[in-house]
Amino acid sequence: MSRLDLNQLVKIREIANTDDVEVYTDAIVREVTNPCVGSSEDGKVERRVESFLVLRFGYWSSLHEEQFDQIQELLDKVNFKLELWMDDWDDDCGSKVSYRIIDKYSRYA
């Protein structure tokens, strides 16, 4: 099992060069069809949950490419991967960007 400790989160905050980092969890539910042809489970739809951590920097700020790469290098050591999770536009606050941390060996990655 991969783990992320507080020291790594502090290092991520330092790389992002902000004191305003929000960390929370989120998940996606995926419906997967069992491909075992000929078995009693063939065609059965299963619900699988993919959970992950989400990071938001500042007021929905995006990372610079160099910051993203440095954080990815840090996470790679503990078998995690950083991805852009949300890049959206809101009429009230403008650009809204967040990132997710996932297991880099996840089949949903």
Q: What gap in Å lies between CA 29 and CA 14, rounded to an integer?
A: 32
Check whether 109 has a pLDDT greater than 60: no
pLDDT reported for residue 6: 92
Q: What is the 3-state secondary structure (H, E, C) of 78-108?
A: CCEEEEEEEEEEECCCEEEEEEEEEECCCCC
Instruction: Give residue-wise pLDDT tens across range 22-64.
Output: 999 998 888 877 666 565 666 677 788 888 999 999 888 899 9
Mean pLDDT of the chain: 86
Where do the domains of the chain lie? 6-103
Can you give the pTM of this predicted structure? 0.79
Q: What gap in Å lies between CA 36 and CA 16, rounded to an integer?
A: 45
Nearest 5°: CA angle at 73, between 68 and 75? 95
Average pLDDT, integer, range 75-80? 93
